[in-house]
Amino acid sequence: MRTPADLQADIGEILLTEAQIQARVAELGAQISADYGGRRLTLVSVLKGSLPFMADLMRSISLPLQIDLMEVSSYGGSTTESSGLVRILKDLSSSIEGEDVLICEDIIDTGLTLNYLVRYLGGKKPATLRICTLLDKPARRLVEIPVDYTGFTIPDQFVVGYGLDYGELYRNLRFVGVLKPEVYADPG
C-alpha cells in the first residue's frame, strides 16, 4: 500500500506549484469572463483529470455559468501512451444546442482525445465551441488542435497531480510534478 508520504516521494521535480496554478487559473477565469462579455457559458469538463481544474476555474469566472461532465478514456490501465482509441464512458446530461460551450481539459498531449471530442460536441450544434486546457504538451501532438486558452505549456514529460494521474493515483496532489522514472518500473 502506498501512503501519502510514498506518493509525495514518487515525485522528482515539481513543475508547477500550487501558487503558480492558482494564479494562472485566476488569470484564465478573468480572461474568459471578459471574452464572453456577460453571455451564458457552459463548461464541459472532461473527467476525471480536469476535475480540480474545472472546480477552480468555474469559481474564477464571473458569468452566468452551467457545467456538464463527460468522461472519455484514451489510455488503458496505467500506461503512459495514448492508444488513439477514444471511448465515451459518460455523455453530456443536457443539450448544448445553441449554447456557448467551453471544453475544460487537464492536458493536451497527442491531441487525439480532443480531436474526437471537438467533432463529437460540434455535431451537437453549440453556438460556439472553444477549448481551455490547463496544460499543453505540444511536442507530442499528432493532430492539430485549435486551443483557445492554455494554462501552461510544458515539456515532454509525464506529469501527475492537480487531477492528473498515473494508474489512477496522484490526482489529489495540489501541485503538478514529474514522476520519478523508477515509479514506472515498480507498480507496487
Give catalytic residue positions.
109
Site for ligand IMP in 126-165 (CB under 6 A): 158-160, 164
Select the residue interacting with Mg ion from 49, 111, 126, 161 (CB under 5 A).
49
Cell numbers found for residue 179: 514522476
Phi/psi for 35 (5° steps) reads -65, -35
Nearer to ligand IMP, 37 or 156 (CB): 156
Coil, strand, or helix at residue 160?
strand
Task: For the CB of residue 165, give the shortest distance to Mg ion in the complex, in Å.
Answer: 8
HEC assignment per residue over 83-129: CCCCEEEECCCCCCCCCEEEEEEEEECCCHHHHHHHHHHHCCCCCEE
Task: For the CB of residue 87, give the shortest distance to ligand IMP in the complex, in Å.
Answer: 12
Phi/psi for 115 (5° steps) reads -60, -45
From ligand IMP, Mg ion, none, interface partner of 158 (C-beta below 5 to 8 A by class): ligand IMP
Interface positions with ligand IMP (CB under 6 A)? 49, 74-75, 82, 105-113, 158-160, 164
Interface positions with Mg ion (CB under 5 A)? 49, 106
